[in-house]
Amino acid sequence: MSTPRYHQGNGQAEASNKTILDCLKKSLTNKKGKWPDELPGCLWAYRTTKRRATGETPFSLAFGSEAIIPPNIIVPSINTLLPNIEQNSKERATDLDLAEEKREQTITRIAAYQQQLLSSYNKRAKIRQFQPGDLVLRKAFITARREG
């Protein structure tokens, strides 16, 4: 059941939930019971922070452009005050055209990152070779209840 369509099986949902819960724990030190107020900020931080493995934010991979941070929406900057509709439309179309290329570059970065992790793991791993007849300790999984 370990497929991209079944996130519970490959740990992606658990990993992202763990990160979001860590953010909530850090922001709720003195605000017990206020997690619904803090959740949007934690989600925003999670979605707009670049990941080490991909080098991109989840938002930019999903939508093809970077997100506008809330202060720029509330307190407009020069970029949001004087928008040029035509220029904005052209840039948005370019961003969407380049989104697939960005995703392909991200897949390449992930493969390189996984190779780097594998090589660092292999440096520390002890290679052991067993021959027929060698005694090894194996872990016994007891699934039945003991009666008595």
Tokens of 124: 């520390």
Beta bridge partners of 113: none
Q: When comparing pLDDT for 6 and 27, which is higher? A: 27
The CA distances from residue 69 to 41, 76, 80, in Å, are 11, 11, 12
Domain boundaries, the chain: 7-124
pLDDT at 48: 81
**Is 28 in contact with 41 (CB distance < 8 Å)?**
no
Q: Please, what's the largest Cα pairwise distance for the chain?
A: 80
First to last CA, the chain: 37
What value does the mean pLDDT take over residues 77-83? Answer: 58
Task: Say yes or no to pLDDT of 106 above 60.
Answer: yes
Strand, coil or helix: 3: strand
Phi/psi region, residue 64 (left: phi>0; alpha: psi -120 to 50; beta: rest), is left
Q: Sorting pLDDT into bands at 50, 70 and 90, what band is 7? A: low
Helices (H) and strands (E) in the chain, counts: 7, 0
Structure tokens at 42: 């934690």
With a cut of 80, say whether residue 78 has pLDDT above it: no
Q: Is pLDDT of 115 > 90?
A: yes
Of 112 and 6, which is predicted with more confidence?
A: 112
Q: At 20, is the pLDDT very low, low, confident or very high (cuts 50, 70, 90)?
A: confident
The pLDDT of residue 56 is above 80: yes
Check residue 9 and give its pLDDT: 63
Q: How many CB atoms lie within 10 A of CB 42?
A: 20
pLDDT at 23: 83
The contacts of residue 72 (CB under 8 Å, 6+ apart) are 79, 80
Note the pTM of the prediction, 2 decimals: 0.47
Q: Return the structure tokens found at 130.
A: 């067993």
